[in-house]
Amino acid sequence: MESEIRQLVDMGATVAQARAALKRCSDVMEAAERIFDGAFDNIPDEPAATMMQSADPIKERRATTRLVTPEEEDDADEDVVGSEDESEGSDDGFANYDLDDEMQDDTCGAQVDIDPYAGIFFSKDRREEVIEVEEEPETVYIPTVAERVKVMTQSQWMKGCPEGGEQGFLFSLYSQLVEGQCPCPSGCGYSIPRAKNHFFAIFSTFEVYIKCLRGIVRKTCKRCSKVFCFACGEPINGPRLLESTKANEDRDLFHCSNLQGIILGVGLAMLEQLYHDQLQNLLFPENKARTSKRRKTDPVISSPMILDPDDDDDNYLSPPTQGKKSKLGVGYAGDQKEDTTGQAEAQAIQITKDEKLGELMAQLRMFLPSLRRPGGALTSDYLVHPTALAHLRRRFNNICSSLLRNDSLTDMSERSSVYFELFEWLETISNHEALASMMAMPIMVVSSVRTHTPKRATDGAPPLRERTVIYEGSSGPRELLESIVIQANAAIKGLEGIRPIEATFDDMTEEQKRITSDTKGKSKEAFLLPFSEENQKLLGFCQRILATAEAIDRSLRETKGQKFLDRLQDALPKIHSSDPASREVFIGAEASEEAVRQMYISWATRVRFEYCDLTVPLPADKPANQDEPPNYKFYYNTDARMLASSDIPKRSLAIAKELAVLTTNLPVAWDSSIFLRVDETRVDIIKALIIGPEGTPYQNGCFLFDIFLGHSYNQLPPSVKYMTTNGGKFRFNPNLYADGKVCLSLLGTWAGPGWVAGKSTLLQVLISIQSMILCEEPYLNEPGWATSSGTPQSNAYSANIRRMTVKTAMLGNLKNPPEPFGDIIRTHFRLKARSISTQLDKWLSHDDGLPTVNDGASSGCGRGGIGSSMNGFQGDVEELKRFLKQLQDGTVPPHRS
């Protein structure tokens, strides 16, 4: 019984109420309904010594105040079965949903230092193993709509739920509504049989489902003429609903929490199926016409809660397999162009799909519990069914997670019909106390699936298929939304342009004032006017994102308290300032390799993108001239100063989109990462640091690039200059010249697929440099040498680059760190000191002893080098190892960049 008591306590009952209800009721579901109806309000709470501890101490007090629905007020004088219990309690009106502040004030010091949510909702270190059964669904013909439909099985209803308590509620509701009779509440003996197709038929559209549900919910007893609900068996207030109107018919669907659980469960299943089908057609358009029976070798990306009963065991999302990277250079021998045909058609198809998905989301959102419903809250808004949270966490979160993980703010804004509706869902959920905690709860996702041998039923029925599904915690909805908030703030910064902000509140329209006021504290309160239509569209979308995050946080503060919100905010991703203290990371000598790797990735993720001051400080004796643009620590300083007063809307829009993507999508890994620094007042001035990838002669070297987004960006590619050249002496690659020229087709400086105006991005340029130029066998990047893989010439070329990497990209950058990456470089070498020491030993053992060649691409390895057969490589390695030891010991003085 203790587990049942715990479930009821978590739902808001006191321990005493839970015990009393379970003694009188046959199951937890019935007990919960009776408690919510107020039948046990008169039960005094148990002494503190014997009370079970709830997850929320405040909830214990709140639970003593019953929520009274408007319909209950009208029905107060009606005779209801069980009125003897209910008459013992008393109600004094509606419960106050804004009790958190009041209770915190009441309890003074008793609660002020207590965090009731510590470790409850925020930990993603969860792993649940569930055995799920697959049943063959029935099909029935529905004469009222002339449609043959499938009926949701119990396994489909419960599929994808890893929570034991939620499974119990799902099972109870399904069993209640597909079995037995629904008796008249007056006790006259009349009853109506229930069938699966009454509530669990999957129609072609949600509108048809609601139409059929509306026609069966309201029942009239043929013996006593009592009007009652077919879902819960309780009386429906007749006088208020005598007039047959659509509004009154729809009001019937909000009569009880049972209906809420049914509509959300079936509606979300239909929504998920539609989303899955659209995703499948997007990823595998050639499979549109294939039958539902799929071979296990077919590639399938799917959700664990899909309705299709014919899906084989691959009906789960599996991690992609990782293969060994091919040894390929970029030595294109001729012109190549990217095929961009069909993009407009694909975009139009996507818009149509999004409109259909957004329409279904809007229809279903009307049935979410909401105390702010236009016209006033209804019964099911107060009496939230226990399965409502289960449906939202397993089905809605599946779609929510997929949409919020989109790494392109531009794509999101172009799909506004879906994303604006998604934001409405998030706000509606966060506004209700019974659902708000879901915003912070980790989303349980499928990590693995193991199929069992089908069990043949004894009655000749089709065999049952079982799967063991492992669920693991991942980022919750609010955490996922924060990544988009970061992108939105970056886009707004880009839209502000590079001029001083001149617009004020007096110059704004009422709509612009409202948007700016809603997001105060998230972005600057003024922006350049007028915007082009496209710029304004992106700005409005970004402001909507920020407003959604603000609304969710405000609701969580009101419903869950400041402690809850503080813990959530601490766990959210952030863009850190350029304060060196935020980047300093030290690690003990006893730390394991796995711990070091995790710390490195965590640190790199935290500091990969930052705004900083890249201006050259004025001499102390020289007064500042407001009319003269500053100088920058930047190769393209002259070009940047010439554009200091330019206002180019298309360019601003392109930069805004770039910044939005770069803030959260720069690649971070133990093997190789990219770090970016953007001037805080000139977002077109960028510096990049790329860590040489593992397995290449550039491994763990730090390679610096200056990037300028020029006058015609992004109709033309950015300007990129390579800066790690040992003072203009070393050519590190056929595509990286000693003078800093970067040869890359995207930049128009190399053969191959070129820059596509409005489509190509700076992120593509950075990743191309990281993977295609800083490659495993750079000798192949020269067109004439592209077929020379593994030759002595190629091996000698790589050995030459390894010596240059150690001398310049490693040791040189440690001695004289380039601004503003001093702390990044030092921390990179400190955290990877052990790994780099092993790497250096390996490189030294494989060195060919030849002199270092400044320009191996033109001079040929082994000729025209500096030094002698004693090429100095061993000395550089030993000196670098001493630096690594000092970094680990903390004896290297900090360098402030």
What is the pLDDT confidence band of residue 85, given thresholds at 50, 70 and 90?
very low
What sign has the CA pseudo-torsion 376, 382, 386, 389? positive
CA 301/CA 254 separation, integer angstroms: 36
Sequence-distant (≥ 6) Cβ neighbours of residue 202 within 8 angstroms: 149, 150, 151, 152, 209, 266, 269, 270, 307
d(CA 497, CA 99): 45
Q: Is 852 exposed, middle or buried (0-12, 13-18, 19+ CB in 10 A)?
A: buried
What percentage of residues in the chain have a pLDDT greater than 90?
A: 39
- Domains plus CATH for the chain? 2-112 (no CATH), 137-320+356-401 (no CATH), 580-889 (3.10.110.10)
Is the per-residue pLDDT at 882 higher than 50? Answer: yes
Q: What is the mean pLDDT of residues 248-257?
A: 82
Q: What mean pLDDT comes out for the span 462-490?
A: 88
Q: What whole-number distance in Å separates Cα of residue 682 and Cα of residue 616? A: 13
Average pLDDT, stretch 77-100? Answer: 35
Q: What is the pLDDT of residue 526?
A: 41
- What are the angstrom distances between the C-alpha of 685 and each of 13, 591, 613, 705, 741? 59, 38, 10, 11, 18
Task: Assess whether pLDDT exceeds 60 at residue 618.
Answer: yes
Question: Rounded to an integer, what distance in angstroms lies between the CA atom of residue 539 and that of residue 753?
Answer: 32
Give whichever of 277-281, 705-709, 868-872 has the largest mean pLDDT.
705-709
Return the minimum-mean-pLDDT range out of 7-11, 52-56, 184-188, 631-635: 52-56
Q: Which residue has the higher pLDDT, 710 or 18?
A: 710
**What would the mean pLDDT of 13-35 be, rounded to a whole number?**
75
pLDDT at 863 over 90: no
Tell me, what amino acid is at 321? T
State yes or no: pLDDT of 730 exceeds 70: yes
Instruction: Name the token pair of 846.
Output: 């494989």
pTM of the model: 0.74
Query: pLDDT tens for residues 437-453?
Result: 889 888 988 888 888 77
Contacts of 466 (CB under 8 A, 6+ apart): 131, 132, 133, 134, 451, 452, 454, 455
Using CA atoms, how far residue 286 sits from 281, 302, 308, 895, in Å, is: 8, 16, 19, 56
Residue 177's pLDDT band (cuts 50, 70, 90):
very high
Q: 802: left (phi > 0), else alpha (psi -120 to 50), else beta?
A: alpha
| Choice between 138 and 344, residue whose per-residue pLDDT is larger | 138
Q: Name the average pLDDT for the chain.
A: 77
Helix (H, G, I), strand (E, B) or coil at 451: strand
Q: Please report the pLDDT score of residue 26 as a whole number.
A: 66
Helix (H) or strand (E) holding 450: strand 443-451
How far CA 589 is from CA of 90, 275, 837, 892, in Å, comes to 66, 49, 14, 17
- pLDDT attached to residue 729: 92
Inform me whether the pLDDT recorded for 164 exceeds 70.
yes
Work out the pLDDT band at 43, boundaries 50, 70, 90.
Answer: confident
Q: Which of 184, 212, 400, 743 is catalytic?
A: 743
Tokens of 62: 């709140």
Q: Is 743 a catalytic residue?
A: yes
Q: What is the mean pLDDT of residues 811-825?
A: 93
| Contacts (Cβ under 8 Å, ≥6 apart) of 45 | 14, 15, 16, 17, 51, 60, 64
Residue burial 866-892, b: 16+ Cβ < 10 Å; e: rest: eeeeebebeebbeebbebbeebbeeeb
Q: What is the pLDDT of residue 751?
A: 78
Report yes or no: 620 and 614 within 8 Å, Cβ to Cβ.
Answer: no
Q: What is the mean pLDDT of residues 617-622?
A: 78
Q: What integer is the mean pLDDT of 21-28?
A: 74
What is residue 12's predicted lDDT score, i.e. its pLDDT?
Answer: 63
Q: Tell me which of 142-151, 426-435, 823-832 is least confident.
A: 142-151
* 420-429, 451-460, 699-708, 831-840: least confident range: 451-460
Positive or negative: CA dihedral 852, 853, 857, 862: negative
Band (pLDDT 50/70/90 cuts) for residue 45 is low
Which pLDDT tens digit goes with each residue over 638-653? Answer: 999 988 877 788 888 8
d(CA 315, CA 525): 48
Determine contact, residues 585/461, Cβ cutoff 8 Å: no
User: According to the model, what pLDDT value does residue 587 have?
Assistant: 72
Higher-pLDDT residue of 179 and 389 is 389
Look up residue 642 and give its two tokens. Answer: 């010439």
Average pLDDT in the 116-121 region?
51
Of the listed ranges 238-252, 615-629, 784-798, the least confidently predicted one is 238-252
Q: Which residue has the higher pLDDT, 483 or 82?
A: 483
CA geometry: angle 33, 34, 36, nearest 5 deg? 65
- pLDDT over 70, % of the chain: 72
Is the pLDDT score of 589 beyond 60? yes
- Locate 204 and state its tokens: 């072609």
Residue 91's CB is within 10 A of a number of other CB atoms, namely 16
Is 70 exceeded by the pLDDT of residue 755?
Answer: yes
598: Cα within 13 Å, side-chain hemisphere? 5
DSSP conformational letter for 324: P
In 10 A of CB 596, how many CB atoms? 18
The residue that leads in pLDDT, 482 or 114, is: 482
Average confidence (pLDDT) over 286-302: 38
Comparing 223-227, 659-663, 707-711, 893-897, the range with the smallest average pLDDT is 893-897
Q: Which range (213-222, 227-236, 582-591) has the least confidence?
A: 582-591
Token look-up 């230092």 returns: 113
Flag whether pLDDT at 542 surpasses 90: yes
Q: Angle 346-348-354 (CA atoms, 0-180°, nearest 5)?
A: 100
Contact 522, 703 (CB under 8 A): no
CA 452 to chain centre: 32
pLDDT-based confidence at 414, cuts 50/70/90?
Answer: confident
Taking only the tens place, the pLDDT of each residue in 417-475 is: 999 999 999 999 999 988 998 898 889 888 888 887 776 655 666 677 888 999 988 89
Mean pLDDT lowest for which of 537-541, 705-709, 784-788? 784-788
Report which listed range, 26-40, 248-262, 313-327, is most confident.
Answer: 248-262
Q: What is the mean pLDDT of residues 507-514?
A: 46
pLDDT at 581: 46
- On the question of pLDDT at 319 being above 70, the answer is no
What local confidence, expressed as pLDDT, does residue 10 receive? 60
Residues in a beta bridge with 448: 470
